Structure 1
Amino acid sequence: MLLIEETAPTAEALPVAQLRAHLRLGSGFGLADDEAESAALAGFLRAAIATIEGRTGKVLLTRRFVMRLDDWRDRLGQTLPLAPVIAVERIEIEDGQGTVTELPAESWRLIGDLQRPMILPAGVILPHVPRLGSVAVTFMAGFGDSWDRVPADLAQAVLMLAAQFYEDRSSGAAKSALPFGVSALIERWRAVRTLAGRGAVREGR
């Protein structure tokens, strides 16, 4: 499977002001409100968001993704790797010879489950993917375009993690384990994800 993020959260959607307030309350440091500092805080927030999304499979701020597979994992229904899925914009099958065919929207439907969103066939099974071909699913996922649409526990986890990144910025220490408080906040959102094409996960083709 190859998952491509086609769009990124806008700078305006990032909770820079909330992180600045969190840092003042948490550490007592007075932070100058300037462009360089805001850019740095935005960077810590993006890193924290990416980490939380990677651990939970939940997209916090809405954006577009493309999932490419060698084949459906199960022609009775294909699970999507991220949630919540707002809409599937299109599904295309490439035949291995360069010809791309878009599936009619009436030939499939989206089940927008918060843990395991799926594409189901309108009929019995999803269309055949040629042996040397591939399938691409373009979809929109996320809780919303603005930070106030993000669930409170996930939003707090991001602020806590971004604050730690900020406070550890000069130490150079790489930490793979999340702080206990962050782990506790995201625990209920975590889901086991199993997804691949023709039985193997691939980084590219």
Structure 2
Amino acid sequence: MMLTEQTPVPEAALPLEPFKAHLRLGTGFGEDSLQDEVLISFLRAAIAAIEARTGKVLLSRQFVLNLHQWNDRSAQVLPLVPVTEVSAVVQVDAEGVEEILASSQYHLIQDSQHPKLCPTGSLFPLVGTGGALRITLTAGIATDWGGLPADLGQAVLMLASHYYQYRDDTGLSGGCMPFGVTSLIERYRVVRLSLGRMQ
């Protein structure tokens, strides 16, 4: 399985001005925008870290999932949450010939933990030896910053601020995340099943 992000979060969708206000940076000076590039990089890093910790995509964007076979021909679990749309499903044979599945052949079951792509009939068509699948989908809690739940938005600003404050500190342990951020995002974590137990 290989998951590729096709459309990164556009710069205009990032909360640059709220982040500046959170940091209490001065305004009204001729050099207001000098730090914009580094602030944007901290916002992107914070979003990526919170998405990794929660297992959920914050701001809507497009991804492509490449598979060698259906994991289950009766229901393919998708690795992103929440999936809002599946725009294309393509089967590729061993010679590279592509066949686009009609949208009437599948439907998306939206779920806050484990969304699935299911066939309209009983099973998805078989993928031949040496073949592959390509699924194009859109995932994200909100299409813009204002649509995010307030606690998730605050968590991003807090974590980006933490990165900014300790940007020169090389002694922080790997995966370091402030307690306040952890507590804000805890309820959004995807429940993972392992050996019949929840994690």
TM over 0.5: yes
Question: 1: distance between equivalents of 2:151 and 2:129?
Answer: 44
Contact map agreement 1:88 1:110 (CA 8 A) in 2: yes
Shift of 1:177: 2.9
Alignment of 1:164-183 (within 5 A): 164-174=162-172, 175-183=174-182
AA of the residue aligned to 1:177: C
Number of the residue aligned with 1:202: none
Q: For residues 171 and 63 of structure 2, what CA distance do their matches in structure 1 show?
A: 32
Matches within 5 A, 1:46-65: 46-65=44-63
SS at match of 2:9: coil
What amino acid sits opposite 1:14 in the alignment? L
Aligned AA (1:78): Q
Q: How far off its partner does 1:19 sit?
A: 1.1
CA contact (8 A) 2:56 2:190 kept: no
Query: 1:173 deviation in Å?
Result: 3.6
**How much does 1:35 deviate?**
2.6
Kindly report which structure 2 residues correspond to 1:29-178, keeping only aligned pairs within 5 A, or say none. 30=26, 34-174=32-172, 175-178=174-177
Superposition map of 1:4-43 within 5 A: 4-24=4-24, 30=26, 34-43=32-41
Q: Could you give the per-residue CA deviations for residues 84-125 of structure 1, whole angstroms, max 9, x where no partner exists?
A: 212100000111211111111101000111211110110001
Contact 2:43 2:160 in 1 (8 A): yes
Greater RCO (Cα-Cα under 8 Å, separation 6 or more): 1
CA distance, structure 2, for counterparts of residue 126 and residue 187 of structure 1 = 36
SS at match of 2:56: coil
2:169 is paired with a residue whose SS is: coil
Tell me the CA shift for residue 193 of structure 1.
Answer: 4.8
Percent identity among equivalent residues?
45
Moved more, 68-77 or 44-53: 68-77
> Equivalents in 1 of 2:6, 2:95: separation in Å?
25
Letter in 2 for 1:55: R
Taking the aligned partners of 1:37 and 1:147, their CA distance within structure 2 comes to: 21
| TM-score of the superposed pair, with normalisation by structure 2 | 0.89
Q: Which residue of 2 aligns with 1:200?
A: none
CA RMSD, aligned part only? 1.6
Instruction: Give the letter aligned to residue 181 of structure 2.
Output: V
SS in 2 for 1:36: coil
For 1:185 and 1:145, the matched residues in 2 are separated by 21
1:153 Cα deviation from its structure 2 partner: 1.5
Query: How far apart are the structure 2 equivalents of 1:57 and 1:183?
Result: 13
Alignment partners' CA distance in 2, 1:128 and 1:15? 45
Match of 1:186 in 2: 185
5+ long unaligned stretches in structure 1: 195-205
Q: Which runs of 5+ in 2 are unaligned?
A: 194-199
**CA distance in structure 2 between the aligned counterparts of 1:191 and 1:144, rounded to whole angstroms:** 17
TM-score (norm 1): 0.87
Distance 1:80 1:17 in 2: 34
Conserved? CA contact 1:81–1:193, under 8 Å: no
